[in-house]
Amino acid sequence: MRLFFDLTKSGIVVFVLVTGAAGYAMSHGLQTDWEIGHILATLAALYFLSAGSFAINQAQEATIDARMPRTAKRPVPSGRISVAQAYILGFGFVFIGACAALLVNTSVLAIGLGTVFLYNGPYTMWWKRKWAFGAVPGAIPGGASVLLGYAANQPMIWMPEPIYLFLLMFLWQMPHFWCLAIRFREDYAAGGIPVLPVRLGTERTLFHMALYVFAYVATAAAAPYFTSARWAYIFLVLPLSFIVVWQFMRFYKSVVEKHEKTKWLPFFLWTNLSILIFLAAPVVDRWVGYALMINDLANASLGGGEM
């Protein structure tokens, strides 16, 4: 089971399921019944498509992973699972995920297969290997999980709300990935991956990280223009936006001053927590607002009856 979880990158798959569920909850009709079959089919599509895609990715990058100390112990480069076995499992899972997506609707199928293609095709085989800024277009498939969940109920995803959710996911990924790239710069260099710190240096990477960090928190703060924003926005999103910026400034200072122990981990963890909160807050505000509206209508009806 440990081999299976490592091959399919179960930790990231859980993240995919959570963000996809946020998109699903945002697009679900307020007065529409929750159908367990529809929910399970959507989650199955998210799980099998992402797990299969990650298994294929490990088969594609077995040689590269073997040269990097951080990834050398993964199932395929360590020889515990063969490249052929990883491909068979990966494509099998993608097929199952496509069947589950088709049970939901054709938009979910198109987004799911498009995400697999972008991740295992252009990103894995070219952007990541050839381009220092490969993480930028690579963030497109990385942010698609929330769109897939949203499309399960609202196939028309070219609207302000799903675009806002996708932008959060898209912008979050650059500081998230480049933080790791700075921390494991030598590993990426050994693997021949020209990530930004390897190609342009740490200070230039920090500059680009700053641009995306401020764009990310600015997008989160702009939530009222795109989606539901009530108490969760005020008490969670706004304070957490300041914390993310503060943690980045601490990380920036520790790297520039060449501290032996940089502040990369607190920034990394706070950034990861922030994207979950930023996606959950509009869901909470939407459904709490709906519950309060129903309660107000019920009270008004009772008051009118007493008169």
Residue pLDDT tens, the chain, 307 long: 889 999 999 999 999 999 999 999 999 998 889 999 999 999 999 999 999 999 999 999 999 999 999 999 999 999 999 999 999 999 999 999 999 999 999 999 999 999 999 999 999 999 999 999 999 999 999 999 999 999 999 988 889 999 999 999 999 999 999 999 999 999 999 999 999 999 999 999 999 999 999 999 999 999 999 998 899 999 999 999 999 999 999 999 999 888 767 889 999 999 999 999 999 999 999 988 887 777 766 676 666 555 4
Final residue of a domain: which of 156, 172, 206? Answer: 156
Query: Residue 31's pLDDT is what?
Result: 85
pLDDT at 303: 64
pLDDT at residue 186 in the model: 93
pLDDT, residue 307, reads 44
In this structure, the answer to whether residues 230 and 268 fall within a common structural domain is yes
Determine the Cα–Cα distance for residues 270 and 286; give it in Å rounded to an integer: 24
Question: In the listed set 130, 156, 182, which residue is the last one of a domain according to the structure?
Answer: 156
3-state secondary structure of 69: coil
- Domain of residue 148: give its range: 1-156
- pTM of the predicted structure, to 2 decimals: 0.93
**224 shares its domain with 301:** yes
Residue with the two structure tokens 């220092």: 132
| 3-state SS, residue 80 | coil
Q: How far is CA 68 from the centre of its chain?
A: 24
Q: How far apart are CA 97 and CA 105, in angstroms?
A: 12
208 and 119 in a common domain? no
d(CA 138, CA 136): 5
Shared-domain flag, residues 134 and 212: no
In one-letter notation, the amino acid at residue 305 is: G
- End of a domain among 138, 156, 174? 156
Number of domains observed in the structure of the chain: 2
Do 171 and 249 have their domain in common? yes
5 and 132 within one domain: yes
Compute CA distances 72 → 149, 179, 184, whole Å.
Answer: 33, 20, 13
Which of 244, 264, 265, 241 minimizes the C-alpha distance to 253? 264
Please give the full DSSP string across 154-219, using - where no structure is assigned.
-S---SHHHHHHHHHHHHHHHHHHHHHHHHTHHHHHHHT---HHHHH-HHHHHHHHHHHHHHHHHH
